[in-house]
Amino acid sequence: MKVKITIIIVVIGLNMLLVGYVVGYYIGNKINIDTVVNNVIKQNEQQELLDARVSNIENKVEYSEIDMVVNKIIKEAIYSKYVLQKADAYLPEGHLLSLGALNYVQGNVSAPLYGYMSEIIKEAMSGFTPEEILKYRAGICGSSYIVFSAIIDKLGLPVRSVSFFWENGNNHIAAEVYYDGDWHFYDPTWGSYFVKDGDILSTEEAFQTTELEEYMITNESLLWTRVISSYYNNPGLRAFIDGGVTYKYGTEY
C-alpha cells in the first residue's frame, strides 16, 4: 500500500514537472514570438514614418519655390485689394501682382553677391533656370529677368523682355507685363517702374516722356541699390535718358 502511494506521488510529481516544463517552454517561446512581433511592428512603424518623410521631401521638391512665391503674391494681392477698397483707393490687379514679383526678385537675386562670387571666390554659377538661379540667390539683370518672367507667367500674365543697347557696348534687360489692355514696364534688377497720371508706363511711353526721373518709382530698401544709384544714377533710368540707347522686345510668354 505504501509502495503504491509512493509510486502515485512520484508519477504526479513527474507529471507536474512535465507540465511545468511544457508551460515554461510555451511561455518562453510566447515571449520570444511577442518580441519578434513587436520588433516587426516597430520596424513597420519606422518605415511608415520614413516613407512619410520621404514623401514630404518629394512633395517639397515638386512644389518649387516659384510656386510658393506665386501663392504668396496672390494672397498679398487679395489682402491689398481689400485694404485699398476700405481706403476708397484703387490699383490695377496686374500691377499688384507685378509689384509682388518685382520686390521678391530684387530681394532674392543679388547683383553684389554675383560679383563677389564670380570675382572674389571665383565660383562659377551654372544654369539658367529660375530654380538654378535661386540656388545661389545671385545674378545680374538677365538672371533677374528669368526669375521675374517665370513668376509672372505662373501668375497668368503675358510677359516679355526689353533689352537696351548703348553705343559703347553696354546692355541691360528688363521686362514688360501685359494687363488692362496695355504693356507696362518693370525693371526687376532695380525694382523700378514709371507712374504718370496714375498709369504704369510702357517702355515706349517712358521714352516719349520728358523729365522721366520725376515719374520713376524705385525700391531702394536694399543698401546696394541706394549706394549704386547715388554714385552712378540709376542704371535702369539711364537706359531711357542716355542718348543713343536703342531697345528691342523679346518673345512674349
pLDDT(84) > 70: yes
pLDDT(173) > 90: yes
Which of 45-49, 121-125, 203-207, 221-225 is modeled with the greatest confidence? 203-207
Q: What is the pLDDT of residues 101-119, one digit of tens each?
A: 999 998 899 877 887 787 7
Q: Give the 3-state secondary structure of residue 178.
A: strand
For residue 224, the model assigns a pLDDT of 57
Q: Which cell goes with 121?
A: 571666390
CA distances from 17 to 11, 20, 73, 81 (A): 10, 5, 80, 87
Q: What is the pLDDT of residues 181-210, one digit of tens each?
A: 999 999 998 889 999 999 999 999 999 998
Averaged confidence pLDDT in the chain: 76
Three-class HEC string of 15-45: HHHHHHHHHHHHHHHHHHHHHHHHHHHHHHH
| Across 61-65, 82-86, 214-218, least confident range | 61-65
In the chain, the percentage of residues whose pLDDT exceeds 70 is 65
CB atoms within 10 A of CB 111: 20
Residue 244 pLDDT level (bands cut at 50, 70, 90): confident
Residue 243 pLDDT level (bands cut at 50, 70, 90): confident
Cα maximum dimension of the chain: 135
Provide the CA 141 distance to its chain's centre, in angstroms.
19
pLDDT(93) > 70: yes
pTM confidence score: 0.70
Higher per-residue pLDDT: 128 or 160: 160
Which of 62-71, 95-104, 120-129, 216-225 is modeled with the greatest confidence? 95-104
Q: How far apart are CA 65 and CA 217, in angstroms?
A: 27
Q: What is the mean pLDDT of residues 224-235?
A: 58
Q: What is the pLDDT of residues 19-37, one digit of tens each?
A: 444 444 444 444 444 444 4
Residue that is written with C-alpha cell 512581433 in the block: 37
